[in-house]
Amino acid sequence: MMRYFFLLFGVAVLLVVLIAGRRGDTSRRPPFEIFPDMDRQLKLRPQAAHGFFADGLSSRLPPPGTIARAEPFNVGGRAVYPFEDAPVNTGRETGTTNFVALNPLPVTARLLARGQQRYAIYCAPCHGATGEGNGITKKINAMAVVTSLHDKRVVELPDGDLFNTITLGKNLMGAYGPQIPVEDRWAIVAYVRALQLSHLGSVDDLSPEMRAKLK
């Protein structure tokens, strides 16, 4: 009698283990929610499918002409809103198509540090950590042409043009406006200038103490 029980018990345990497997086993099945109370609600979740709208998208595009509610930038003591035709938003002189020569944001150590970090994330994969156009995509021969940021042509571009290129892309380079916020784009422009300066400088630019350190 007990023998049958043990047999049955063993078979039952074995079956459960065989069917359910172990913790951490990979599976294509969605997670099983044991107590699903309110786990999944009818609300819209970002970038998810939702039946409320005809096209099934929960993330909506704003109707044309919508102005996003936003905080203004502080540009030299003046508040500039993101929808204004101002150099900080467009890279161009207000009312013209001429690129601004200089970065409208004050170039501080903080802006440069931010620019270095953002450059490393978004630009270095192609342009390389030092801007010579030898990033990883070039090294694996995935891209035919990557511009060196130390080209005389690039060095002589006004700041506004660099900003415009980051925002909208140029030739084979895609637009980075959607990925990088305006302030960060100017930070990158400032950092690219610092990179270029580092290539154009000579030993004479260093202070005597720093020159001594070099030797």
Partner 1 sequence: MSAIFPKWTNRLPLMILIGGGLTASAVTAGVWYYFTPKYTRVGYQPLQPVSFSHATHVDQLGMDCRYCHSAVEESWFSNIPAASTCMNCHNQVLKDDPRLALVRESAATGKPIPWVQVHKVPDYVYFNHAVHVNRGISCVECHGQIDKMEEVYHAKPLSMSFCLDCHRDPASKIRPLDKITDLNWQWSDDPRVAVQTQQAKGREMVEHWRVESLQNCSACHR
Q: Which stretch binds partner 1 (CB under 8 A): 40-48, 102-110, 158-166, 192-200?
A: 40-48
What angle, rounded to 10 degrees, do the helices at 182-200 and 109-118 form? 100
- 193, 187 contact by CB (below 8 A): no
CA 15/CA 6 separation, integer angstroms: 14
Residue from the set 9, 52, 53, 83 that interacts with partner 1 by CB under 8 A? 9
Q: Which stretch binds partner 1 (CB under 8 A): 38-46, 71-79, 102-110, 202-210?
A: 38-46
Q: Which stretch binds partner 1 (CB under 8 A): 96-104, 139-147, 191-199, 202-210?
A: 139-147
Task: Give how far the C-alpha of residue 161 lies from the chain's centroid of Cα atoms, to the nearest Å.
Answer: 20
**Per-residue CA distances from 206 to 69, 201, 202 (Å):** 47, 9, 8
**Per-residue CA distances from 96 to 86, 87, 135, 197 (Å):** 10, 10, 35, 29
- Is 199 a residue that touches partner 1 (CB under 8 A)? no
- Is 51 a residue that touches partner 1 (CB under 8 A)? no
The CB-of-97 to partner 1 minimum distance in angstroms stands at 25
- Is 80 a residue that touches partner 1 (CB under 8 A)? no
3-state secondary structure of 99: strand
Residue from the set 13, 101, 197, 200 that interacts with partner 1 by CB under 8 A? 13
Residue from the set 3, 18, 39, 208 that interacts with partner 1 by CB under 8 A? 39
- Is 60 a residue that touches partner 1 (CB under 8 A)? no
3-state secondary structure of 80: strand
| Unique residue bearing structure tokens 């070039």 | 138
Q: Which stretch binds partner 1 (CB under 8 A): 16-24, 73-81, 82-90, 148-156?
A: 16-24
Residues 6 or more apart in contact with residue 96 via CB below 8 angstroms: none
- Is 71 a residue that touches partner 1 (CB under 8 A)? no
Chain residues in the site for partner 1 (CB under 8 A): 1-2, 5, 9, 12-13, 16, 20, 23-34, 38-41, 43, 45-49, 57, 117, 120-122, 125-126, 136-137, 140, 142-144, 172-176, 178-181
